Amino acid sequence: MSWLVFASINVIMSSVASLYQKIAMREEKTDAVVSAITFMIVSGACYFIYALIKGFHIPSITLLPFFIITAALYAAGTILFFHAIKKIEASEMSIIGGIGPIVTIIASMIFLKDTLTVTQLSGVVCILAAVFLINYKKNGFVINQGTWLALLGTACYGLAVISDTIIIHEFEVASFIPIGAAGTALIMMLLYPKKIPLVFTSLMHINKNLLVFSVLYAIQGIAFYLALGTGALVGQVSAIARASIILTVILSSIFLKEQNDIGKKLIGAVFTTIGVILVSQ
């Protein structure tokens, strides 16, 4: 199967998954932390099945510090995202997610001694312009609590990519993903021990929309790596994956009725997509 097919699956699954996350979390009584842990366990189980098919291996103990850092950052980011999605729209969350590559680049300059090119700087400007646009109201520039949570979650994910990169250079991706998911779920439970009984209840009587979100999220992740495994370059797949930002905005307006400021959202989605592609160069 062509890598382009897997890349397209990644885009579609990512966008549809965002809708189901919003549907699962928009009920007032839904617990963000319990849902975040449940999501990580379910998606981790899907990754583990994939790893078993590919051939599961145990990493070297020398990588343990990086696994802990990665898991801690993803734990914080995931909890922040689940809190954020209760307060903001799925389309807005998708656009704000474009900040992640900026954080990754800044961190890579500090820790990996990478340099920022003019093209990447142009991408940073595009992304920041998009975030400014979607948060600009008639009474000025306003960032609500949900936006701050999403920005912080995105920053955590962006930093985690640096640790991911170090691990992947030394260890295979298929086995890394389920181990990372398991570690992330464990850290979240250690941070919220009183939520553990509720997590078991959630797993036994899982919200159908949360289940669909978790499975679709895992599928899009696996599709991304399958695209790489069938000959695509990281830049090619990453660039195509950014189409999910625009698709999420369109699907959210149709199925979730997120039609407020739809013009600004579409422009913001386009700017974010262009910005992330430039940043990825």
- Taking only the tens place, the pLDDT of each residue in 234-273 is 666 777 787 899 999 999 999 999 988 899 899 999 999 9
pLDDT at 69: 96
Looking at beta carbons, which pairs linking 188-196 to residues 24 or more positions away fall under 8 Å?
188/33, 188/36, 188/37, 188/40, 188/75, 188/78, 188/79, 189/37, 191/75, 192/33, 192/37, 195/31, 195/33, 195/34, 195/37
pLDDT at 141: 62
CA 42, 47, 53, 54: dihedral to nearest 10 degrees? -170
Average pLDDT over residues 66-78: 96
Average pLDDT over residues 46-75: 95
pLDDT at 105: 79
Residue range 118-150, pLDDT digits in tens: 888 898 889 888 888 887 775 566 678 999 999
